[in-house]
Structure 1
Amino acid sequence: MSVNNLDFDDIHSFHSEIVLSKFVDRVMENCKSSQIHSFRLHFPTKWVKRTSVSYWIDKAVRLNVCDIDIRVLIFELPLSLFTCKTLTKLRIGRGNPTSLVWECPSLVNLPCLKTLDIAVRENPFLRKNPFVNAFELIRGCLVLESLSLGVGIHEEEKGYIFNIPTLKRPKLTLQRVCALVTKKVVLNVPNLEYLFVGGMFQQF
């Protein structure tokens, strides 16, 4: 009940989605720790309910989580995540190309988040394109130092501007599924220490 690191994984294929969800429900309901240092949810093969995933993340936020790592086939992020005061590291969707895209609310305030690792992809059910979601999230990270951003898009984009004074280590990867390329990416990062850029960009 007082454990402060929670790591859930569907690596054991003999567990059904229902059994797995019930187990995570029970753990989260009975967790009484004053702070969760790390909350990892990796279900790349199990179709758990969106509402369940949202509840588990919200519960972790209410337990003052510091590190969240989410890799789930289909999910919704609770609003509480985007205003978490204790979160220092956030990883969403990395390493799972079948993940459906999450959507960012208009209000984002993550005052302690220093490390952000996200992957965004186009989805016909979303109101915003993937980069709009990504930038709204990034703008709410006031002390961001490390950013790893992977984007999968179909249509041509005009270009993107990263204006992040605190950023030290950006890693940008653009994966396209057609021949078109992104025209321009501008980096305004005066505290830059390391830079990685990969994918399909057009050089001028």
Structure 2
Amino acid sequence: MAIKFKSKVRVKDRISDLPDAILCHILSFIPTKYAVRTSTLSTRWKKVWPSVPCLDFCPKDFDFYESFLMFVNRLLLYRGSSDIQKFRLRCLKDDRQFPLIDGWICTAIMRHVVELDLDVPGGSRIFELPRSLFICRTLRVLKLMSSFAFDTPKSWCLPSLKVLVVTVDRPDNDPMRELLPHCPAIEDLTIKGSVGQHVISNFHISALQLKTLTIILETREDDHFPVKNACTLIIRAPKLENLDIDQRVLSLYLLDTAKSFAKPLFIFLT
């Protein structure tokens, strides 16, 4: 009787055979914690994660906040000197860690960061952005998902910045008047904020290259009469094409635009 032996088919690991650049690109789409874990797969992967250009840090990926802080600190310390394309950071409300967070952001800036996405809620005080951020020539996207304080240098400019998202929780403070004149290439601006009862807020938006403007303003939860809110927005944007407004406050818009809108104006009053 003839005995037939089935040959064992060896499954080839095609992913590990990909070039480092492609592997780094793939790992850029997952949280950094899990990208680092790939180093346990083989010696081939140990040299891949330190070159991943996109870093995404969120405390929700960790059981303890202290573990999260230690992870980010060690990773940036031992990652090496390769450039950082995108740096996304989410933190808990704990102003005791502000010096540590300041160092992380400065590290990203030194690594020629292109996109910076920050959510650093303060406790008894507001996080102050490092001064080096305001002279970062590679920065193209800046998203400030919580309120920030800033003390800019006497002479500063963000020549490459095209996308800016700003969260404003202090309606008596107009950061646009200070920021926009130093961002000559800005094309896409989003302003998110909340205003309080009986508070009059003014925003001056002047950007010659601005094409898309999104404004989201709401009333704080402890306010019961949003109609008594008042907000004035003076917009000078000759190239503005898209304007989306979502608000719960009474506002006056003064528009100085030379172009007609590329799509209908959307205004949502809730």
Task: Tell me the TM-score normalized by structure 1.
Answer: 0.83
Aligned-partner residue type, residue 56 of structure 2: D
User: Is the contact made by 2:51 and 2:79 (CA closer than 8 Å) also made in structure 1?
Assistant: yes
Where does residue 34 of structure 2 map in the other structure?
none
Higher helix share: 2
1:8 correspondence with 2:8: no
Q: Are the aligned partners of 2:94 and 2:121 in contact in 1 as well (CA < 8 Å)?
A: yes
1:146 aligned residue: 188
Q: Contact (CA 8 Å) 2:233, 2:251: kept in 1 or not?
A: no
Q: Closer, same or farther in 2 for the Cα pair 1:176/1:37, shift >3 Å?
A: same
Determine if contact 2:195/2:229 at 8 Å carries over to the other structure: no
In structure 1, what is the equivalent of residue 38 of structure 2? none
Match of 2:73 among 25, 28, 34: 25
- Please state how far the C-alpha of 1:203 moved relative to its aligned partner: 5.2
Tell which has more relative contact order, 1 or 2 (C-alpha 8 A, sep 6+): 1
Q: Name 1:91's counterpart in structure 2.
A: 143
1:105 paired with 2:151, answer yes
Runs of at least 5 residues in structure 1 that lack an aligned partner in the other structure: 94-98, 124-128
How many residues matched?
191
RMSD (CA atoms): 2.4
**Contiguous gaps of at least 5 residues in structure 2:** 1-49, 254-270
Distance change in 2, residues 1:116/1:203 (3 Å): closer
Distance (whole Å) between structure 1 residues aligned to residue 132 and residue 165 of structure 2 = 19
Using the TM superposition, give the Cα deviation of residue 47 of structure 1 relative to its aligned residue in structure 2, in angstroms: 7.0
Identity %: 26
Q: Computing the radius of gyration over CA atoms, which structure comes out larger, 1 or 2?
A: 2
Q: 1:174 aligns with which of 193, 196, 217?
A: 217
From the superposition, tell whether residues 47 and 185 of structure 1 become closer, same or farther in structure 2 (CA, over 3 Å).
closer
Which residue of 2 is the match for residue 50 of structure 1? 98
Contact 2:164 2:186 in 1 (8 A): yes
* CA distance in structure 2 between the partners assigned to 1:203 and 1:2 by the alignment: 49
Misfit runs of 4+, over 4 Å: 44-48
The answer to whether the 8 A contact 1:10-1:46 is kept is no
* Partner residue, 2:236: 188
Alpha carbons 1:34, 1:64 under 8 Å: kept = no
Evaluate the alpha carbon distance shift between residue 184 and residue 122 of structure 1 in structure 2; reply closer, same or farther with a 3 A threshold.
closer
